Amino acid sequence: MDLMTPTITLTIFISLVISITQKMKPKAKLNIMMLLFLLSLIPINSLTNNNYTFTLSSSPLIMTSTENINISIMMDTLSLMFMPISLLITWSIMEFSTWYMKTDLHINKFLKLLMTFLIMMLIIVTANNMYQLLIGWEGVGIMSFMLIGWWNGRSDANMAALQAIIYNRIGDIGLIMTTMWLMNMSSMNMQELLMQYETTHTIPILGLLAAATGKSAQLGLHPWLPSAMEGPTPVSALLHSSTMVVAGVFLLIRLNPILQNNKYMTSLCLIMGATTTLFAAIAANTHTDIKKIIALSTTSQLGLMMTMVGLNQPTLAFLHMITHSFFKALLFLCSGSLIHNLNNEQDVRKMGGLEKTTPMTASFLTIANLSLIGTPFMSGFYSKDTIIETMMNSYINSWTLMMTMIATIMSASYSTKILLFSLTGYPRTNHNTHKEEKIIMNPLLRLMTMSILAGTMMKLSTLQTTTMITMPKTIKLSALIMTLIGMILSKDLTYMMNYMKPHTSNTLNTFFNQLLFFNMTHRTITMHALKTSQKTSTELTDLWFLETLGPKGITTTLIPMIHLSTQQKNLIKNYMMIFTLTLILYLMLPLSK
């Protein structure tokens, strides 16, 4: 087993690289992805009862006086559990893409970028030193930039791609700062680093927190995630489920021993996570674009994972990351199917009655939403319910618990809103709907199966060997009660809206809809910079610089000098007088002779 696990991991990496570099038909790439997924399931068997860690290192590539830099792969519970999940989701999304992007001329390039995205995420997951992690970290950033701006003929797509890369660069400063600190003060190797975690300073921890905030779109660096919806739907599905956004939380889970003894940092994670969860859930309720609602839902769930990191429960955060990956990918692909069938209509208010026209997609969308809100015995329930129970039984600030409970109500509310608006009632669209094609049912079916069974399957692994906790029945059922409240409120509000007159949004609604007015801040900063530069160029350059050193400046400098050397002052009277005097003198001279 010791030899088999590294061999399988290397086979996966090499096969992915070969499939990208060589020219292949999309179907061949899908077959490779399927085989690699089945191959990646083999090492999981050793993890069901044990928690082994395997490492595979190359000989040093760069030798320095302080340390040797080599390629090193770490295979433990986190990486070996995450690999088959990311491979399954990427395989399903690529298969969906062959239908969704069928008319795109560069479909092969698109699939290559998706596979490169997957490789970069696998590098992050299996990295055994900070150099490797940084390569994967920057790689997913570049891939997200290229894929979000795939339709680069649209200015919105270009802006969203730039927004994603700029926000991530702000967060990356933190990771680079941590890497530099570890290079000087500690070790770049993961095992050595985690062995001396008790002596860790606050600076690297702050850097890790900043990196996770940027990559996982926590409050403060959150606006890029809803904007990223400008990319094709398969990109959104991959970005939000198993790559990119979970990288930030994964980093904190991987390096959790560094964080766990620092109470200030764990408290900061807890507060940031709870605030993000609530804010994103409320913001999702104010939007009507189906993709933006699901995107803000991702931010909300990432906040929940961050809360668990703050509670020193990294395993629970990882469990929620796994279950969330499946139903979030399914949600995006279902929304993509609806958008494609409605000729690119994304507003839920213009949908309706789709349970009749697209019954399979409607069923899958319902299952994904039920899993998201934590319906008992579906995958989301096993992680979300356990998270809330853990918070109930821990010594945390009741404010954080209250934020999470309200966010649970809001999650149920926006999920019900999507279902009621898009699937039920009468059709509110003028578009001709296409038929559901067989090609998209296979990937959706796979993800739907995992959205139901993933939580139950995790019970077999070491991720859910939790202790038995006794608690009052009300506390045990609190998450379910909050979910039901959210669903009932959403249903009532939806039906009330049908009989209300149209009115302009109030300030609070606009505040959350505009994501804390961050978009306005973008515009304000840009406009101020533009105005300042305009004033600088016109007023300072034209009026001052050119006035003092240009033609006028030369004139004002030369005139006094001319006046000193000559009497020509441009005065006609002076000229006439001098001319007359000279003439009189000339006439008088012969007379004197």
- Over the stretch 334-366, which tens digit does the pLDDT of each residue have? 999 988 888 888 888 888 888 888 889 999 999
User: 156 phi and psi, to 5 degrees?
Assistant: -65, -40
* Partners of 57 in the β-ladder: 72
Instruction: For 54-68, write each residue's pLDDT tens digit.
Output: 777 777 777 777 777
pLDDT band at 199 (very low <50, low <70, confident <90, very high): low
Question: Is residue 564 over pLDDT 70?
Answer: no
Question: Is residue 593 over pLDDT 60?
Answer: no
Quote the longest CA-to-CA distance of the chain. 139
Position 368 scores a pLDDT of 93
* Angle in degrees, 0-180, between the axes of helices 233-241 and 245-254, rounded to the nearest 10: 10
User: 318 phi and psi, to 5 degrees?
Assistant: -65, -40
pLDDT band at 299 (very low <50, low <70, confident <90, very high): very high
Instruction: For 6-26, write each residue's pLDDT tens digit.
Output: 788 888 888 888 888 878 788
Q: Which ranges of 311-397 does DSSP label H, i.e. alpha helix?
A: 314-341, 354-357, 359-373, 379-392
Mean pLDDT of 258-281: 89
Position 293 scores a pLDDT of 92
Residues 324-341: b if buried by 16+ CB within 10 A, e if exposed: bbbbbbbbbbbbbbbbbb
How far is 187 from 192, CA to CA, in rounded Å? 6
Position 351 scores a pLDDT of 86
Nearest in space to 418 (alpha carbons), one of 295, 323, 285, 235: 285
Query: Residue 117: is it exposed, middle or buried by C-beta count within 10 angstroms (0-12/13-18/19+)?
Result: buried
pTM for this entry: 0.86
Q: Which of 199-208, 336-345, 426-435, 454-463 has the highest mean pLDDT?
A: 336-345
* Partners of 443 in the β-ladder: none
How far is 517 from 522, CA to CA, in rounded Å? 9
Residue 19: C-alpha distances to residues 28, 106, 108, 418 (Å): 9, 16, 11, 38
Question: Is residue 1 over pLDDT 60?
Answer: no
What mean pLDDT is reported for the chain? 84
